[in-house]
Structure 1
Amino acid sequence: MSDAETKEGTAQDAKDEASPKTDETAALAPKADDAAAQAKPAYRPPYAFLVIVSAVTLVADLGTKHWAVKNLSDPFERREIIDGFLGLVLAHNPGGAWGLLQNESPAVRVPFFILVSIVAIGFIVSLYRKLAPDQTALRWGLPLVLGGALGNLVDRIRYRHVIDFIDMYTREGTWLDNFIERFTGPTRGGYHWPTYNIADIAIVAGVLLMAVDMFQSRKAEKKAEAAK
Structure 2
Amino acid sequence: MKGFTRHGASALALAVLILILDQISKYWVVEVFALESRGPTQLAGPLWLSMVWNSGVSFGLLGGPSEFTRWALTIFGFGVAAALAVWVRNADKPLTAAALGCIIGGAIGNAIDRIRYGHVADFIDVSRLHFPWVFNVADAAINIGVGLLILELVLDSMRRQAPS
Instruction: Say which of 194, 202, 207 aligns to 2:146.
Output: 207
In 2, are the aligned partners of 1:94 and 1:102 still within 8 Å (CA)? yes
2:5 to 27, 33, 44: 44
- Report the TM-score, using the length of structure 1 for normalisation: 0.64
- Contact preservation (8 Å) 1:87, 1:167: yes
The 1:47–1:98 alpha-carbon spacing in structure 2 relative to 1, beyond 3 Å, is: closer
| Structure 2, gaps ≥5 residues long | none
| Alignment RMSD | 2.1
Q: Is the 8 A contact 1:45 1:128 kept in 2?
A: no
Please give the TM-score of this superposition, normalised by the length of structure 2: 0.86
Give yes or no for contact 2:51–2:122 (8 Å, CA) kept in 1: yes
Larger relative CO (CA 8 A, sep 6+): 1 or 2?
2
Question: 1:128 maps to which residue?
Answer: 88
Q: How does 1:85-104 map to 2 (within 5 A)?
A: 85-103=46-64
Q: CA deviation at 1:131?
A: 2.2
Which letter does structure 1 place at the counterpart of 2:75? L
Query: Is the contact between residue 127 and residue 134 of structure 2 (CA under 8 Å) also seen in structure 1?
Result: no
**Among residues 166, 169, 192, which one is paired with 2:127 in the alignment?**
169
1:92–1:161 contact (8 Å) kept in structure 2: yes
Percent of pairs with identical residues: 26
Give ranges in structure 1 of 5+ residues lacking alignment: 1-42, 171-175, 177-190
Give the CA deviation at 1:75.
3.1
Match of 2:16 in 1: 55
Greater Cα radius of gyration, structure 1 or 2 = 1
- Say how many residue pairs are matched: 160
The answer for the alignment partner of 2:71 in structure 1 is 111
